[in-house]
Every structure is written in structure tokens, then in C-alpha cells.
Amino acid sequence: MKSETAFVPAWWLPGAHLQTVWGRLARGRRLVAFRREVLETPDGDDLVLDHLDLERPSGTPRVLLLHGLEGSSYSVYIQGFLAQAAGRGWHGTAMNFRSCARDPAELSRMLPNRRPRLYHSGETSDLDFIVRTLSARKPEAPLCAIGVSLGGNVLLKWLGESPGQKAVAAAAAVSTPYDLGASGRFLETFLGRLYVGNFLATLKEKAVETARRFPEAAAKMDLSRALYARSFWEFDDAANAPLHGFTGADDYYRRASSLGFVSRVATPTLCLSAEDDPFLPREALDRARRAASPAIDFRVTRHGGHIGFVAGAWPWRPRHWAEEFVLEWLSGVSP
């Protein structure tokens, strides 16, 4: 099913940009209490999981959360989704992509990884490892997954790569940049560069640190060009793509974009986006909607920005509509 979905934005947050940035400035980052687990990956690195565990029967559903670019389990939207899950009596697990886990005592500090690679929009092996691990631990408990922004791209790509998988009963992808190249070009505007600059600040720091710790990684990247990058394409072409085995940014975008995988998704999946998302042009969203498989319920709102979807009559009583809508949808389709 593919349709337009009604969402009424808060009157006090008009426009896509205010919808996009308000939550990051005004919401708490410690809405739920975590139990931290560090798993060793098959290639000898660490993956940090933060679990929301409740006193519930063994068959209680669990939702797996995947954050966006340079986010973590402490991103406000991950906290919001987990709070919604807790309100429904569900367990939750937030997966921190490599190099993204925050020190719980100092959330501004990211914990380093042990291998000469980081993460990217098309890297699905870590997600596959986590899904198999969680499913094996509690085979009787339904497992759902929610990916946000970059996490949505990773989740949809994995679902398209694994159409026969049964471990994840239902999924949702929110504000997904389906076409990474189109998204990057769309952000090459004055306001877009403000968003990009914020991400590039920490991505450049990671590139420098990775080059310092791992000579083999330094040999793959053009670090001086990466440090002068002002766009995602420039940074990806100089650092991110060659570090992870791509010939350049265009090769990375072509192979990693979930647009090429949504037609093969067989798991019941909600795709939720806003037409005014400042991270993705409308035409790319339309192409993703046309390509989506019958298993995808593709919902588009007229407003909402990027991971915004803020409703409510007053600033001191906001409603985070997408978080409510996604959990309600998953509750309706999961076993």
C-alpha cells in the first residue's frame, strides 16, 4: 500500500527546517535507562548495544533501533522511539554503528573502534550479525526493527538483500535518503551546507584519528582533500568511499543507496517520509515510492522535515507523531 498520510505539524514550528532542528535542541537524551553490552564482531571489532529491558514474559516483542549519520543510542529520536516501545511494554535494543557509541558519562565523547574501518550507509554485515544474535537468544520473541535516516537506508538495503529472512517480523524506515547521490546534491545549498558542515566536523575528526591509528587506512584515503571537503560528495570521494572499498563517491552511492533494493523487500515494512524533507528532493522520494515492493507500506506526509514530525498545541506539550505512528503500525502487523 502506498498513500499520503495525514500529519498536522505544530503551528509553532512552521516549515521543514524548524521541524528538523527543534527536537535536537529541545528534547532530552536520557529518556530511558540502558543496559550496555559490547559484542565482538566476526572481524574482531566491537559493537555496542544499549538494551531497554523490562520485567516482561519471555515472548515479549523487542524492537531494534538503528540511528542516523553520526547519531547514537542517545540521539533524541532513538530515545523517543524507545520510550514509545516501553510504553507498550516492549523491550528495546539500540545498535550503535562502529565509532558512534557515546560514553554514558560524557555523551559528547564517541568511543573508538578497534578495526581500520568505520560505518557507512550501505554497510549491512553488522546489522545482519546483530539480528542473528538477538534472534538466537529469544527465538520465541517477535523482533521488529526501526531505522532512521542513514539507519533507514541500512535497514532497507539489508531487507532487500535478504528477502527470505524470517528473524525480523516487521520493520520501519523513517526519513530515509533513498538515493544518496541525489540527497548529497540536494544539500549543496546555503542551508543544506549548514547541516552538512555539522556532520562533516565529526566525520573529519574520525578520518584523522583512523589515519593516525591505522596506516593501512591512511594509505587508502586522501586525507588532505577530505579535510577541505565542504560537501558529502567531496568527503565521501576522498575518505569514506576508498576506506570502505569503493572506487569513489559515485560508486559508493550507486551500490549503497536503498533505492536499488526496495523492490526486493519481502518483510512487512513501513516507509515514512515527508515531502518537505530538506535532506532529499521530492523526485527521489517519488522514485522510491514507485520502486517499492508490495510488502512496503509507503507513507508520505506533506510536512514534517527530516526526522521532525512534531505536533501538539503548545511548545511545552509537544507530540512526536512519527514515533507514535511507527510503534502503532508495528503493533498492528507484528505477531
Tell me what pLDDT residue 58 has: 84
Catalytic residue of the set 99, 149, 231, 273: 149
Helix, strand, or coil here: 299? Answer: strand
Tens digit of each residue's pLDDT (9 = 90 or more) over 21-38: 999 999 989 999 999 999
Q: What is the pLDDT of residues 273-295, one digit of tens each?
A: 999 999 999 999 999 999 999 99
- Cα torsion 211, 194, 66, 251 to 10°: value is -60
| Contact by Cβ (8 Å): 168, 316 | no
- To the query of whether residue 306 is one of the catalytic residues in this protein, the response is yes
Does position 2 have pLDDT exceeding 60, yes or no?
no
Over range 135-154, report the average pLDDT.
Answer: 97
- CATH number for the segment(s) 2-179+265-333: 3.40.50.1820
Residue 267 Rama label (left phi>0; alpha psi -120 to 50; beta)? beta
pLDDT > 90? residue 105:
no
Concatenated DSSP letters of 89-139: T-EEEEEEPTTTPEETTEEEEEPP-SSS----TT--HHHHHHHHHHHHH-T
- For residues 53 and 289, which has the higher predicted lDDT (pLDDT)? 289
Distances (CA, A) of 92 to 89, 115, 130: 10, 27, 13
Question: Catalytic site residue 277?
Answer: yes
* CA separation for the pair 81, 63 (Å, rounded): 9
Please report the pLDDT score of residue 6 as a whole number: 86
- 274-285 burial, b at 16+ Cβ within 10 Å, e below that, comes to bebbbbbbeebb
Is 306 within 8 Å of 20 (Cβ atoms)? yes
User: Residue 8: is its pLDDT beyond 90?
Assistant: yes
Average pLDDT over residues 140-149: 97
Would you say residue 188 has pLDDT above 90?
A: yes
pLDDT of 334 reads 73
Beta strands in the chain (DSSP E): 2-4, 35-40, 46-52, 62-66, 91-96, 102-103, 106-110, 143-148, 168-174, 269-274, 296-301, 310-311, 319-320
Q: DSSP string of 153-171? A: HHHHHHHHH-TT--SEEEE
Domain parsing of the chain, residue ranges: 2-179+265-333, 180-256
* DSSP classification of residue 274: E
Q: What is the pTM of this model?
A: 0.96
- Per-residue model confidence (pLDDT) at position 1: 41
Q: Give me 106's grid cell.
A: 560524557
Residue 3 has pLDDT above 70, yes or no: no
Provide the pLDDT for residue 56. Answer: 87
Give the pLDDT of residue 190.
86
Question: Any idea how long the chain is?
Answer: 335
pLDDT at 54 exceeding the cut of 80? yes
Q: How many CA atoms lie within 13 A of 152 on its CB side?
A: 24
**What does the mean pLDDT of the chain come to?**
95
Considering 50, 126, 277, 297, which one is annotated as catalytic? 277
Nearest CA to 256 out of 158, 159, 151, 122 is that of 122
Q: What are the grid coordinates assigned to 36, written together?
A: 550496555
Residue 268 confidence (pLDDT) above 80:
yes
Contact 49/93 with Cβ under 8 angstroms? Answer: yes
* 166: its cell numbers: 524470517
pLDDT tens digits along 243-263: 999 999 999 999 999 999 999
Q: What's the longest Cα–Cα distance across the chain?
A: 54
**How far is Cα 101 from Cα 167, in angstroms, rounded to an integer?**
25
* H or E element, residue 323: helix 321-333
Query: Which residues neighbour 304 within 8 Å (Cβ) at sequence distance 6 or greater?
Result: 7, 9, 16, 19, 273, 274, 276, 277, 321, 322
The H or E element that residue 253 is part of is helix 249-256
